[in-house]
Amino acid sequence: MSANALPYRPHNHSACVHQALADARTVCASRQARLTPIRERVLELIWQSHKPLGAYDLLAVLAEDGHNAAPPTVYRALDFLQQNGLVHRIASLNAFTGCTHAGENHTCLFLICRSCRNVLELTAPSVTQALNKVSAAEAFTPEETTIEVAGLCPACKEGGDND
Amino acid sequence: MSANALPYRPHNHSACVHQALADARTVCASRQARLTPIRERVLELIWQSHKPLGAYDLLAVLAEDGHNAAPPTVYRALDFLQQNGLVHRIASLNAFTGCTHAGENHTCLFLICRSCRNVLELTAPSVTQALNKVSAAEAFTPEETTIEVAGLCPACKEGGDND
DNA sequence: GAACGAGATGTTATAATGTTACAAATCTCG
DNA sequence: CGAGATTTGTAACATTATAACATCTCGTTC
């Protein structure tokens, strides 16, 4: 990992992962969903990375773990985590990232730096409301919203990484 | 194609395709970009469908044409068409759709019906502005924006296609 | 404790989507 | 025409995702 690997805001990442896992346990307990070892491990790996990980990235790390997993194992864990609002799939990257609003029902958007690959998840009521109005004007009933903005994060902009 | 296949607004689709191709020729001419037969054919197929087509869907139709094309042929044509603003890729579907604002520099969004698969492309300044504000607040420089809303279109809602 | 059933995982194979690398053809412009 | 750039052909391969079915685990019931 290069210096670029820093998330937008420096923080104690280990604690951050730990908190995410604790939240996940709470959410799953309240929903009577079983956060099994594989599911928890996948969630942990995703949070440790702090950048979106592909399913096959996860498979590779699990292999290092000594866990000889096949694709369905990872995809099933990811499905579970998505359904319980613990991870998001970034469609434009075919990759997954930890949800920073676990347990909350939310429409979120992603700012994706094309240089350092960091992703910032935000909830933006102004955007959501504008989208709802547009949908309503077309008599369209929205169910799942994908908002992904690719560009340059502040750090990479300053660093001159704007190739 | 079922009755569901109707686009939101009935229209003379053949003329619609014809117009799109004419626009494409104009745009390419003004940009000194070469709308070669393959590229034009791919664009035509995309417009004829009126629903997003995958790259391999296009390959299959080209094969029926007697054109024995391989994947790179189609992907290259699609790259060209995207770069010249003639088609859009829908990330959540891995598919491509004709751009209804060819030649205009625009940020667009898509309303995607999960039942009939029709896609409506819109430009929504309110959404774009809200997104720009959010990006600015994070000192993020946006370059490419993906906004895809999956849900139910009015026709499918009425038809009770809300399974 | 034994039998059952639901959910979770393992396993194999395959489908669907997208790219690399290099050769051949075609176009453009002097 | 002929050199250089662009476009297309072709084969192989990489990446992402799913289908289908077998096995295991664990809580419940008898």
pLDDT, tens digit, for every residue of A99-124?
A: 998 877 789 999 999 999 999 999 99
Nearest CB to A154; choose among B120, B139, B144: B139
Question: Looking at the predicted structure, is the pLDDT value of residue B9 above 80?
Answer: no
SS3 A5: helix
Closest residue on chain A to B124 (Cα) = A134
Nearest residue to nucleotide C7 when comparing alpha carbons to its C1'?
A: A34
pTM of the model: 0.90
Neighbouring residues of B72: CB distance < 8 A, sequence distance ≥ 6 = none
What pLDDT does B54 receive? 98
Q: Is the CB of B75 under 7 A from strand C?
A: yes
Rounded Cα gap, residues A117 and A124, in angstroms? 21
CA distance B153 to chain A (A): 5
Q: Which of residues 115-154 of B touch A (CB under 8 A)?
A: 120, 122, 124, 126-127, 129-131, 133-135, 138-154
Bridge-based pairing state of the strands B141-152 and B108-113: parallel
pLDDT over 70 percentage in chain B: 91
Q: What is the mean pLDDT of residues B24-38?
A: 96
Q: Is the CB of A73 under 7 A from strand D?
A: no
| pLDDT band for position B4 (cuts 50, 70, 90) | very low
* Selection from A64, A93, A87, A92 nearest residue A75 by Cα: A87
C6 C1' to B56 CA distance, Å: 39
What pLDDT does A84 receive? 96
What pLDDT does A3 receive? 39
Crossing angle of the two packed helices A13-30 and A37-49, in degrees rounded to 10: 140
D10 C1' to B107 CA distance, Å: 37
Rounded Cα gap, residues A51 and A24, in angstroms? 19
Rounded Cα gap, residues A38 and A44, in angstroms? 10
Do residues B107 and B99 touch, judged by C-beta distance below 8 A? Answer: no
What is the distance, to the nearest Å, from the Cα of residue B94 to the centroid of all Cα atoms in its chain?
A: 11
Neighbouring residues of B79: CB distance < 8 A, sequence distance ≥ 6 = none
What pLDDT does B50 receive? 81
- Name the residue with higher pLDDT: A9 or B79: B79
Extract the runs of DSSP E, i.e. beta strands, from chain B: 87-90, 95-98, 108-113, 119-123, 141-152
Rounded Cα gap, residues A4 and A66, in angstroms? 30
Average pLDDT, chain B: 91
Query: What is the CB neighbour count within 10 angstroms for residue A152?
Result: 22
SS3 B94: coil
What are the φ/ψ torsions at residue B89 (nearest 5 degrees)? -100, 130
Contacting residues 101-140/B vs strand C (CB within 7 A): none
What is the distance, to the nearest Å, from the Cα of residue A75 to the centroid of all Cα atoms in its chain?
A: 14
Residue-wise pLDDT tens digits, B48-84 = 998 999 999 999 999 999 998 999 999 999 999 999 9
SS3 A90: strand
* Test the A interface: residue of B112, B147, B161 with most A CBs within 10 Å: B147
What pLDDT does A53 receive? 98
Nucleotide with smallest C1' distance to residue B54 CA:
C17
Both tokens of B75, joined, read 């992907």
Question: Looking at the predicted structure, is the pLDDT value of residue B129 above 70?
Answer: yes
Q: Which chain B residues have a beta carbon less than 8 Å from that of A152?
A: 140-141, 143
Question: Looking at the predicted structure, is the pLDDT value of residue B28 above 90?
Answer: yes
| pLDDT band for position A10 (cuts 50, 70, 90) | low
Residue-wise pLDDT tens digits, A71-100 = 999 999 999 999 999 999 999 999 999 999
Q: Which of residues 36-65 of A touch B (CB under 8 A)?
A: none
Q: Under an 8 A CB cutoff, do B141 and A149 touch?
A: no
Question: Looking at the predicted structure, is the pLDDT value of residue A159 above 80?
Answer: no
